Structure 1
Amino acid sequence: MQTKLQELTEKIYNEGVDKAQKEADAIIKAAEKKAQDIESDAVEKAKMIVAEAEKKAEDLKRHVDSELKMSVNQSVSALKQNIANTVSMSAIEPPIRELFSDKDFLKSIIEKVVSGIMGKESTDLKVILPANDQKNLESFFKNQLAAEFNKGLDLSFSEGVKSGFKVGPADGAYQVSFTDDDFINFFKSYLRPKSSAILFEK
């Protein structure tokens, strides 16, 4: 009787141990699988993060390269324009300044412009001259353009006119400017593309 009880006890114990062992093995196996799944997910996520970072880095590089290329092109273009402007100005500014400082030239131009306009139009005309030339020019024009003064020519002098002259209807409807700066700007706009073509032709 004692022996059977002992055997039964051992059997129950062994069955319990086996069951517990199997459950423990199942838990361990499930944990190992879950760990593997977590590791796999982590690896995939890491790959995705790296791939996204590489794509962003490549996009940024392309953007920076594009911006840099555009900036370089703009800088080169601006430099070429500055060089062309400098060359043009050095070619046209000195002779035009010299020409407009010639009072005989200025007198001749004004006479021709005034006579030409007043010979065709009956409107009163106003000529504005540099204030610093008033002493030199006023008496000359009053003598040379006496007939035009009788027809309504008005001669005035302004600090705002540094060289050359301005002419227009006496009512101020419009003015045409004939200053050295006007002619310099005119020739500069014409010569700039020519200068660029000569300086930077391929």
Structure 2
Amino acid sequence: MTDRIEEITQKIYNEGITKAKNDAEQLLAQAKEKADSIIQAAKLKHEEIIHDAQQKAEEEKKRFEAELQLTARQFISQLKQQITTLISTAQVDTAVNDAFNDNEFIKRIILLLVEKWDSTAGENMDLQLLLPSEDRKELTAFLQAKATEAMNKGLEISVDSKLKSGFRIGPKDGSYLISFTAQDFANYFKQYFKDGTKKLLFDAIETE
């Protein structure tokens, strides 16, 4: 009887061991499968993160390069403009200022304009001439000697406190005034000198 009990006990024990072993193996297999799944998911996520990072880095690189190229073009354009302006100013301002500091030059222009205006005027000279205060005396005396007829018809000569050189001329009603100052002429000529200077300086370099 005792042997039978021990046999049954041993059988139950063995079956328990076998079941426990099978359960453990099954759990280990499930754990391994789950771990493999987690590792695979992590690997895919890692690759996705790396891909996104590389894509963003490439986009940032392209954006930076585009901004850098735009900045470089703007800088070069501004530099060209500054160089052109400096050269044009040197070319124009000196010559124009020299001319407008020459009262004989101013006298010739005024006399020409007054004579042309007088040729179309009737008995009354509907013309006013605005002069710098420091030149009014000399230029008035010149016109009295050289444009007597116009002066007798009522050519009006006044002082413009804003003028430093040159003159302004136009109808007495002030409907318009034509300005003949060094700055006016310099600005006019610079429009042409800038284009020519820029073409001369940079076109040849860019086509080489």
TM range (shorter): 0.7 to 0.9
* Cα displacement (A) at 1:170: 2.5
In the aligned structure 1, how far is the partner of 2:139 from the partner of 2:30? 111
* Cα displacement (A) at 1:145: 4.1
In structure 1, runs of 5+ residues without a counterpart are none
Number of equivalences: 202
Which residue does the alignment assign to 1:6? Answer: 6
* Cα displacement (A) at 1:17: 2.2
In the aligned structure 2, how far is the partner of 1:121 from the partner of 1:3? 154
1:118 to 1:4, Cα distance in 2 relative to 1, 3 A: farther
SS at match of 2:129: strand
Q: CA contact under 8 A between 1:132 and 1:159: conserved in structure 2?
A: no
1:9 to 1:94, Cα distance in 2 relative to 1, 3 A: same
Q: 1:133 aligns with which of 135, 156, 159?
A: 135
Matches within 5 A, 1:99-178: 99-120=99-120, 124-149=126-151, 151-178=153-180
In structure 2, runs of 5+ residues without a counterpart are none
Which residue does the alignment assign to 1:64? Answer: 64
Stretch of structure 1 that moved more, 135-144 or 155-164: 135-144
Stretch of structure 1 that moved more, 125-134 or 101-110: 125-134
* Cα displacement (A) at 1:188: 1.1
Q: TM-score, normalised by structure 1?
A: 0.88
Which residue does the alignment assign to 2:23? Answer: 23
* Alignment RMSD: 2.2
Identity of aligned residues (%): 36
> In the alignment, is residue 79 of structure 1 matched against residue 64 of structure 2?
no
1:187 to 1:23, Cα distance in 2 relative to 1, 3 A: same
SS at match of 1:186: helix
Stretch of structure 1 that moved more, 184-193 or 165-174: 165-174
Q: CA contact under 8 A between 2:143 and 2:151: conserved in structure 1?
A: no
* Residue identity opposite 1:59 in structure 2: E
SS at match of 2:162: coil
In the aligned structure 2, how far is the partner of 1:198 from the partner of 1:99? 26
Give deviations 1:76-128, integer Å, cap 9, x for gaps: 22222222222222222222111111112112211222332343367833222
* Cα displacement (A) at 1:45: 0.9
* Cα displacement (A) at 1:150: 5.0
